[in-house]
Structure 1
Amino acid sequence: MTSTTPHPAAPRTVPITVHPVAGPGAEDVLVATSGPHEGSVWTGTEDGAVVRMSPDGRTSTRVAETGGRPLGIEELPDGRLLVCDAHRGLLAVDPDGGAVEVLVAEVDGRAMRFCNNAAVASDGGVWFSDSSREHSIEDWKADLVQLGRTGRLLHRAADGTVTTHLDGLAFANGVALAADESWVVVAETSARTLVRLWLTGERAGSRELMSDDLPGYPDNIARGSDGLVWVSIASPRDPLVERLQRGPRVLQRAALGLPEALQPAPKRTVRVQAYDDAGRVVHDLSADGTRFHMVTGVREHEGKVWLGSLHEAAVAVLEP
Structure 2
Amino acid sequence: MDRRTALVPLRYVALPGHGPEDVVADSEGRILTGVADGRILRVDGLDDPSAARVECLAEIPGRPLGLELLPDGDLLVCSADGALLRVDLGGAGRVQMLTETAAGERLRFCSNVVALPDGTVYFTVSSRVHPLRDWMGDIVEHSGTGRLLRLAPGAREADVVLEGLQFANGLVRARDDSCLIVAETGARRLTRFRLTGPRAGQAEPLAGNLPGFPDNMWRGAPDGPVWVALAGPRVPPLGLLHRAAPAVRRRAARLALHVPYRPSATTGVLAIDDDGRVLQRLTRRGSGFRMVTSVCETGGRLVLGSLWERGIAICEAPVVY
TM-score normalised over the length of structure 2:
0.90
Superposition map of 1:191-206 within 5 A: 191-206=187-202
Residue number among 87, 91, 94 corresponding to 2:81 in the alignment: 87
Residues 14-41 of structure 1: CA deviation (Å, up to 9, x unaligned): 23421111200010001012xxxx3221
> 2-side partners of 1:142 and 1:290: how far apart?
25
Residues 148-183 of structure 1: CA deviation (Å, up to 9, x unaligned): 111111111222262221111010000000122011
Gaps of 5+ in 1: 1-5
Superposition map of 1:11-160 within 5 A: 11-33=5-27, 38-56=28-46, 58-95=52-89, 96-160=91-155
> 2-side partners of 1:63 and 1:115: how far apart?
21
Whether the 8 Å CA contact 2:140–2:249 is kept in 1: the answer is yes
Secondary structure in 1 matching 2:130: coil
Q: Return the letter of the residue paired with 1:162.
A: A
Secondary structure in 2 matching 1:317: strand
Query: Against the structure 1 CA distance between its residues 250 and 199, is the aligned structure 2 distance closer, same or farther, given a 3 Å change threshold?
Result: closer
Query: Against the structure 1 CA distance between its residues 241 and 263, is the aligned structure 2 distance closer, same or farther, given a 3 Å change threshold?
Result: farther
Secondary structure in 1 matching 2:213: strand
Which ranges of 4 or more aligned residues in structure 1 deviate by more than 6 Å?
A: none
RMSD of aligned alpha carbons:
2.1
Query: Against the structure 1 CA distance between its residues 7 and 264, is the aligned structure 2 distance closer, same or farther, given a 3 Å change threshold?
Result: farther
Give the aligned partner of residue 208 of structure 1.
Answer: 204
Gaps of 5+ in 2: none
TM-score normalised over the length of structure 1:
0.90
2:175 is equivalent to residue 179 of structure 1: yes
Secondary structure in 1 matching 2:143: coil
Query: Against the structure 1 CA distance between its residues 299 and 13, is the aligned structure 2 distance closer, same or farther, given a 3 Å change threshold?
Result: closer
Give the aligned partner of residue 233 of structure 1.
Answer: 230
The structural deviation recorded for 1:257 is 4.4
Query: Against the structure 1 CA distance between its residues 55 and 287, is the aligned structure 2 distance closer, same or farther, given a 3 Å change threshold?
Result: farther
Secondary structure in 2 matching 1:243: helix
The structural deviation recorded for 1:262 is 4.3
Query: Against the structure 1 CA distance between its residues 234 and 123, is the aligned structure 2 distance closer, same or farther, given a 3 Å change threshold?
Result: same
The structural deviation recorded for 1:205 is 2.4
> 1-side partners of 2:72 and 2:161: how far apart?
25
Q: Return the letter of the residue paired with 1:143.
A: D
Secondary structure in 1 matching 2:17: coil
Whether the 8 Å CA contact 1:86–1:114 is kept in 2: the answer is yes
Residue number among 253, 275, 280 corresponding to 1:278 in the alignment: 275
The structural deviation recorded for 1:261 is 7.9
> 2-side partners of 1:254 and 1:165: how far apart?
30
Secondary structure in 2 matching 1:246: coil
Superposition map of 1:264-275 within 5 A: 266-275=263-272
What percent of counterpart residues are identical? 43
> 2-side partners of 1:64 and 1:140: how far apart?
26
Superposition map of 1:222-301 within 5 A: 222-225=218-221, 227-258=224-255, 262=259, 266-287=263-284, 289-301=286-298
The structural deviation recorded for 1:254 is 4.5
> 2-side partners of 1:171 and 1:41: how far apart?
26
